[in-house]
Structure 1
Amino acid sequence: MAAAGGGDVCDSGGDSGVARAGRRLPPHSPSGLVLRTVEMHTGGEPLRVIPRLEAAEEAGAGGMSLLSLRREVAATQDHVRRALMHEPRGHAGMYGAVVVRGGAAAAGVDLAALFLHGAGYSAMCGHAVLALGRFALDYGLVAAPSSPETAVRLRCPCGPVTAFVPWDGRRSGNPVRFHSVPAFAAATDLAIDVPEHGKVVVDIGYGGTFYAFLNAEQLGLDVCSSKTSDLVKAASAVTEAVKKQFKLHHPESEDLAFLYGTILTDGKDAFSEEPTTNICVFADEQVDRSPTGSGVTARIALQHHKGLIQLNQTRTFRSSTTGSLFTGKAETKFGDYNAVIVEVSGEAFYMGTTTFTLEEEDPLKYGFFFK
């Protein structure tokens, strides 16, 4: 069974013999996967876009919701995730998105997306939404784009979001911004016992997925100067401790009630014109190279809940790993519970296209995980 994008995704262009040879696939198993991708990054965080996955399309045609489709793909197509996220085709920091069109999962939107990482599947990914906004326009997934900006409707497993993408009539541009699902504070000033660190105080926020937040100083670290390996180890210890000591609840679906990771900050939560720096460690000790779009969403929700930021006050968030910047602001309150819709803005860029093949006799055809 093939998992493939449209022909334009891997068209090398030109009429030279070299170009024609470049279109030929290397020897591979006739029954094996051919995986075509578009390579992007947002703030340094990679996004491997899979424009089409036949198995997801077939399952989606049966009327599955996107959350149900996420479970189905995880159960039956996880070899695709492993092949593309893990080495030798990927790496410990790789991230991906499967584009879903048609069926109930994508009803009423321009596209839906499933998010992939080294350890599994996420419910939300802000850096991916920023990149997919551009992808949707440039690959013709929006029926009638408008200049100077087009609203791109996406559905994520956590719910619908809208990206706003510059469009000049020929190609998309930057910066891209999106409006989040309702974001809220799940817990504040929560005392947690962390092995080797003792008692720390964390906040837990939801921005499409749940994160624990704390000042890295509580762990004897600095997000700007400590070794990344030390930050990763400490953040992972916090994540595991919170999972054991605090039960999460989501008001709409228990499928969303899981802690995705921990974000260590510089502690600068009160509103300021100066950037605040953080590092996000999620899944199985994976490090986000960007400031983390869903993390910015959750952190803005927490800051608003605590009265540290007002509606429409824009804050700048810096990644401690790359120095890349996102901005975020609480746009409006939402519903009967204390939630806000957050606007996040950043820049996403194309890097190329790739066609991956598999040879059936390759013992590592579905990759290996190394960190």
Structure 2
Amino acid sequence: MLEQPKCWTQALQLVEVHCQGEIGKVIVAGAPKIPGRTMAEKMNHINQVDDRLRRFVTLEPRASVNMSVNLLVPPTRADADAGFIVLQADRAHAMSGSNCICVVTALLETGRIAMTEPETVVKLDTPAGLVTATARCQDGRCLSVSLDNVAAFVEVLDQPLSTPEWGEIRLDIAFGGVYYAIVDVQQVGLRIEPSHARELAVAGIKIKRLLQQQVSVQHPEIEGLDEIAYVMFRHFESDGVIQTCTTLQPGRVDRSPCGTGSSANLAVLFSRGEVRVGDQRTSRSIIGGEFTAQVLAQTSVGGRPAILPRITGQAWIYGMELMRFDDDDPMSKGFALSDTWGPQVDLLRN
């Protein structure tokens, strides 16, 4: 690990990881303790009480909007090996498939959890619940990580949404670790391809704002999971592959195929009778990366039908980082400019 200069009072140690092109750095040491009896309470503390660490590691001048940072914390439940919270430019989030794969890869390949070949099981405590990861390992590397995700369920199918640009569109709202609004991309006249990334990001943020005015959600069992976090565009290809494009604040697209979004979409397909227990589908990102999403079993959440999804993908460690953590830094709160945030810059809380 990198050596901390003597003049630094505190430093964060990060492992630099990406999953199918989506950056998900992992803070492995140096972070302050986060209050809370559960991971959900810790997430809510970051979002509602003290967001200094999140701002420090996700905003300029130390970061950019097209990335996440995962905070490793001791688990709050006895059946977990580690806990983590996803930190993004807008807020802390309960769960992310690509980030979970990054965390497992960082834990195993740096030796923080012992790797056993050919498979290592890692149980992760998240604000959305327990996630069991099975890493396929060889020669000290994680060749793939399969996530037995939290239960995914449909909130509503074919929800109408009035929009000034596209008239009334229909979308599916489902939970896959966070809440998603899933939109068939042809309704907004775009395609899921790199040349349309900017337009998709803008459309997704516009739809998210309209949803905030017209639709409300609340997880039946977990406090604080009460917003539609992301809008995910979807397209069914002729070979059965599902193109996905999740849009994130302040206005960008996910580089990965999106694990929680693929879980939510799998719940939608199951609810419509288009997949059954044991079936799997391939999710393909805007840049061609792929996850597989499989229905493991049926279950229920708060009395509503749900499925247990498994998401499989791969991440790569590309570096290590030592970040000086100092409240005397005049930019310790970070900043945002409209050249990267666009009109969403007004939403950043000072």
Please confirm whether the aligned pair reaches a TM-score higher than 0.5, indicating the same fold.
Answer: yes
Q: Which of 222, 227, 239 is the equivalent residue of 1:253?
A: 222
The one-letter amino acid of 2:86's match is F
- Whether 1:331 and 2:296 are equivalent positions in the alignment is yes
Q: What corresponds to 2:88 in structure 1?
A: 117
The residue correspondences of 1:5-44 to structure 2 (distance < 5 A) are 8=1, 10=2, 23=3, 25=5, 28=8, 30=9, 33-44=10-21
Residues 1:277 and 2:277 aligned together: no
Query: 1:24–1:294: structure 2 CA closer, same or farther, 3 Å change rule?
Result: closer
Secondary structure of the equivalent of 2:190? coil
CA distance in 2, matches of 1:323, 1:349: 16
2:64 to 91, 114, 133: 91
SS at match of 1:244: helix
Aligned pair partner of 2:211 in 242, 250, 255: 242
Matches within 5 A, 1:168-187: 168=138, 171-187=140-156
Equivalent AA in structure 2 for residue 129 of structure 1: C
Query: Are the equivalent residues in 1 in contact too, given 2:61–2:335 (CA < 8 A)?
Result: yes
Distance 1:118 1:202 in 2: 25
- 2: CA distance, partners of 1:26 / 1:356: 14
Q: Measure the CA separation in 2 of the matches of 1:265 and 1:84.
A: 31
- The number of aligned residues is 336
- Answer yes or no: is 1:195 the counterpart of 2:164: yes
The one-letter code matched in structure 1 to 2:242 is T
CA distance in structure 1 between the aligned counterparts of 2:268 and 2:188, rounded to whole angstroms: 21
Structure 1 letter corresponding to 2:289: S
2:118 corresponds to which residue?
148
Q: Are residues 1:310 and 2:276 paired?
A: yes
Deviation, structure 1 residue 171? 1.9
Measured in 2, the distance between the counterparts of 1:360 and 1:218 equals: 47
Assess if the C-alpha contact under 8 Å between 2:4 and 2:322 holds in 1: no
Does residue 133 of structure 2 align to residue 163 of structure 1? yes
Partner of 2:310: 343
SS in 2 for 1:99: strand
Q: 1:287 matched to which residue of 2?
A: 253
CA displacement, residues 169-196 of structure 1 (integer Å, 9 cap, x when unaligned)? x624211110111101111011100232
Shift of 1:147: 2.9
1:73 partnered with 2:40: no
Asked if structure 2 preserves the Cα contact closer than 8 Å seen for 1:92 and 1:369, the reply is no
Q: Provide Cα deviations, 1:279-317, integer angstroms capped at 9, x if missing partner.
A: 101233242110111001101110111111222222111
Contact 2:182 2:231 in 1 (8 A): yes
CA gap 1:226/1:365 in 2 versus in 1, 3 angstroms: same
CA contact (8 A) 1:189 1:203 kept: yes
In 1, are the aligned partners of 2:13 and 2:30 still within 8 Å (CA)?
A: no
107, 123, 140: which one pairs with 2:78? Answer: 107
- Percent same amino acid among aligned pairs? 26
How far apart, CA to CA, are the structure 2 residues paired with 1:159 and 1:180?
9
Say which is worse superposed, 48-57 or 287-296, in terms of deviation.
Answer: 48-57
More strand by share: 2
What's 1:299 paired with? 265
**Distance in 2 (alpha carbons) for counterparts of 1:106 and 1:283:** 31
- 8 A contact 2:65–2:250 mirrored in 1: no
Moved more, 78-87 or 198-207: 78-87
Q: 1:287 to 1:224 in 2, by over 3 A?
A: closer
Contact residue 136 and residue 145 of structure 2 kept, 8 A = yes
Which residue number in structure 2 is paired with residue 18 of structure 1? none
Runs (5+) with no aligned partner, structure 2: 341-350
Which stretch shows the higher mean deviation, 124-133 or 360-369? 360-369
Q: Deviations over 1:25-80 (max 9, x none)?
A: 3865x4xx4121111010111011011355326x35xxx11111112234555222
Question: Deviation per CA, 1:347-366, whole angstroms, max 9, x where unpaired?
Answer: 11101111112566643243
Tell me if the contact between 2:154 and 2:271 (Cα under 8 Å) persists in the aligned partners. Answer: yes
Summarize the Cα distance change of 1:173–1:92 in structure 2 as closer, same or farther, 3 Å threshold: same
Mapping of residues 45-84 of structure 1, within 5 Å: 45-56=22-33, 59=35, 64-75=37-48, 77-84=50-57
Change (3 A) 1:86 1:225: closer
1:136 aligned to which of 102, 107, 132: 107
CA RMSD of superposed structures (Å): 2.2
- Native 8 Å contact 2:46 2:92 kept in 1: no
Query: C-alpha separation between the residues in 2 aligned to 1:24 and 1:364?
Result: 20
For 1:79, the aligned partner's letter is R
SS at match of 1:284: coil
Tell me by how many angstroms 1:274 deviates: 3.9
